[in-house]
């Protein structure tokens, strides 16, 4: 028998054994070697260049004498492709030109609702969640110097079902082109999506105009009615997104901060008050609830989906939802926090 060999490549690794009697490689899972199927998990470094999990079909030829170890192994296992696929990040922004390409469709998901499905057993009219809200808008910005990504997932506040999403990459306005390239390479290059960012990013001012059109299409916002949201609320994982970053970016972009950004639900504060567990971030909340991570952490659209999954679980568990922070009309820096027990 040929000795076990470590198979390494840029997107997966696996242990393989060679059978002399069959031109087939039997793949052994490090978790369950006798599983009925094996999935290869892509490296996070190339998550959006390749499918999240990929099938492997390898044929070999060779000759060696049979061994007891190979004889006791189960028959070669069929390798199945995972149902999960990374989102097409052109499609999330309405700019995919390969929607009719079968190979592209097989590699990338074009239906964000597939990651946010709620089973029939949990789609219940939850009167405890938030009787005053119809829609919840999960927002998770990316970018420390300037906003680089603006993703929102909308769900029904009562049934938890996914309704729509808005996603734009954002081009900085105060940084040099050289600094932008360095910034994007450091932020998104390691995920293999820097090209998508360069192809699609638009200035924050344009993002806000398109976002307001999107809000209006769902009857959630009307500038004539004062510019606040209509029976909807933003949900964030922390206060930074709307307390700090949006006002800063509006100032950098020479626009007035829209009034609909003046209040929000900080999910971390709701979490600690409902479960009595001080989870300090998205990953820790997911861990406490036994929810696995989908996609790439710190890719905004993936983080927004994962925060939405936490939110869906909390609603299903009966967690009440309420506004946790509100900005005073007296100034952008004057924010009132409405829950005494909160994550600081």
Instruction: Return the active site residues.
Output: 142, 298
Q: Is 116 exposed, middle or buried (0-12, 13-18, 19+ CB in 10 A)?
A: buried
In the chain, alpha helices (H) = 68-72, 102-107, 177-187, 194-200, 204-217, 246-252, 267-275, 282-289, 300-316
Residues 6+ apart with CB under 8 A from 229: 137, 215, 220, 221, 260
Partners of 337 in the β-ladder: 325
The interaxial angle of helices 300-316 and 267-275, nearest 10 deg, is 30
Q: Which residues pair with 135 in a beta bridge?
A: 156, 232
Region of 137 (left: φ > 0; alpha: ψ -120 to 50; beta: rest) is beta
CA distance 216 to 105: 30
CA dihedral 15, 19, 20, 25 (to 10 degrees): -60
Beta bridge pairs of residue 136? 155, 233
Q: With contact defined as beta carbons under 8 Å apart, do 343 and 272 qualify? A: yes
CB atoms within 10 A of CB 227: 15
Task: Name the strands in the sheet holding 13-18, side by side, starting at the edge strand that comes first in the sequence.
Answer: 5-8, 13-18, 25-28
CB atoms within 10 A of CB 42: 20
Asked if 307 and 140 count as a contact pair (C-beta separation under 8 A), the reply is: yes
Q: At a CB cut-off of 8 Å and minimum separation 6, what does 340 contact?
A: none
């Amino acid at each position: 028998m040929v000795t076990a060999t470590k198979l390494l490549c840029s997107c997966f690794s696996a242990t393989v054994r060679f059978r002399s009697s069959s031109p087939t490689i039997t793949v052994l899972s490090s978790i369950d070697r006798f599983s009925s199927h094996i999935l290869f998990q892509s490296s996070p470094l190339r998550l959006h260049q390749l499918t999240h999990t990929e099938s492997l079909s390898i044929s070999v030829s060779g000759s060696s004498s049979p061994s007891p170890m190979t004889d006791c192994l189960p028959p070669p296992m069929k390798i199945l492709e995972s149902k999960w696929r990374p989102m097409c990040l052109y499609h999330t922004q309405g700019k995919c030109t390969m929607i009719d390409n079968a190979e592209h469709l097989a590699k990338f998901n074009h239906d964000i609702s597939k990651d946010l499905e709620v089973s029939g057993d949990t789609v219940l009219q939850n009167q405890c969640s938030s009787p005053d809200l119809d829609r919840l808008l999960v927002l998770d910005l990316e970018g420390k110097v300037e906003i680089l990504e603006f993703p929102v997932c909308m769900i029904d506040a009562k049934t938890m079902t996914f309704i729509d999403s808005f996603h734009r990459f954002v081009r900085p306005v105060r940084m040099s082109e050289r600094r932008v390239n360095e910034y994007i390479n450091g932020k998104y290059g390691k995920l293999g999506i820097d090209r998508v960012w360069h192809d699609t990013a638009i200035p924050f001012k344009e993002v806000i105009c398109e976002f307001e059109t999107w809000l209006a299409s769902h009857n959630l916002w009307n500038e004539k009615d004062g510019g606040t949201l209509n029976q909807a609320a933003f949900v964030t994982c922390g206060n930074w997104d709307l307390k700090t970053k949006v006002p800063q970016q509006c100032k950098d972009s020479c626009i007035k901060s829209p009034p609909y950004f003046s209040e929000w639900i900080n999910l971390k504060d709701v979490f600690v008050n409902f479960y009595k567990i001080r989870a300090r971030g998205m990953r820790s909340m997911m861990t406490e609830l036994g929810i696995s991570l989908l996609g790439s952490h710190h890719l905004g659209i993936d983080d927004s989906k994962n925060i939405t999954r936490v939110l869906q679980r909390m609603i299903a568990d009966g967690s009440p939802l309420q506004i946790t922070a509100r900005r005073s009309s007296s100034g952008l820096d004057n924010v009132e926090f409405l829950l005494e027990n909160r994550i600081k």
